[in-house]
Amino acid sequence: MSAEPIIILGAGGNSLGIIDAISAINALDPARPRYRIEGILDDIPENRGKKVLGCEVIGVIADAPRHAGCRFVNGISSVASFRKIPEIVARTGLSASRFETVIHPRATVATTAIVGAGSVVLAGSVICPEAQVGAHVIILQNTSVNHHSKVGDFSTLSAGITVLGYIDIGRNAFVGGGSTIAPSCRIGDGALVGAGSMVIRDVPAGKVYAGNPAREIAGSRHAL
């Protein structure tokens, strides 16, 4: 069986973690690697021809339909771009079935957990029993999603986050690295939690919260 061709969306920092995850998956059986990275699609003009860990930017997001037979995975997310993820994925013109779920071999996903189509779970992360992760979610290194917690579609959990039990993270939210979310809290759709925050109360949709304990950052340019 030949390796499955896959293309990464975005040449930013998240692409390094995805390439590392794919390399680690292939290393499990070097004689029969699971994936072959065809390249990266990115809309930033200065990234044309750029190489990330040896993988070249071969076109823009809208070129995705030209790559028949390829699988795709999204790596685009930052404080500046996280709310654009649904639009970026839609710009590919691809059906949900064309997107690959990439889970690093050194991540742990419980047998009773759910990880949706097109999501990424990087090294050292743990998805605990009865947790639910939606579609096109990016979970960076060393983050834990504990029992009965839910992460909505298109959301981003940065590195080193602790999501405790019975938490509901809405669609298209962004949680900064090193944050902790206390049990039973709700992070609203499109909300942003700043790095290193301790969330002990609900974060309304579209708002920006940060600090210990996390409070609203009034007037933030990142708020809706």
* Catalytic annotation, residues: 147
Residue 203: alpha-carbon gap to chain centroid: 20
* Phi-psi category of residue 124: left, alpha or beta, with phi > 0 → left and psi -120 to 50 → alpha: left
Q: Which two tokens stand for residue 188?
A: 């609203």
Which 8-state DSSP code applies to residue 21?
Answer: H
- Other CB atoms within 10 Å distance of the CB of residue 147: 17
CB 204 within 8 A of CB 224: no
- Other CB atoms within 10 Å distance of the CB of residue 40: 24
Q: 142, 78, 197, 102: which is closest to 127 by C-alpha?
A: 142
Helix (H) or strand (E) holding 138: strand 138-139
What distance in Å separates the CA atoms of residue 47 and residue 49, rounded to the nearest whole number? 6
The one-letter amino acid at 116: G
What distance in Å separates the CA atoms of residue 6 and residue 3, rounded to the nearest whole number? 9
Q: 203, 162, 160, 200: which is closest to 182 by C-alpha?
A: 200
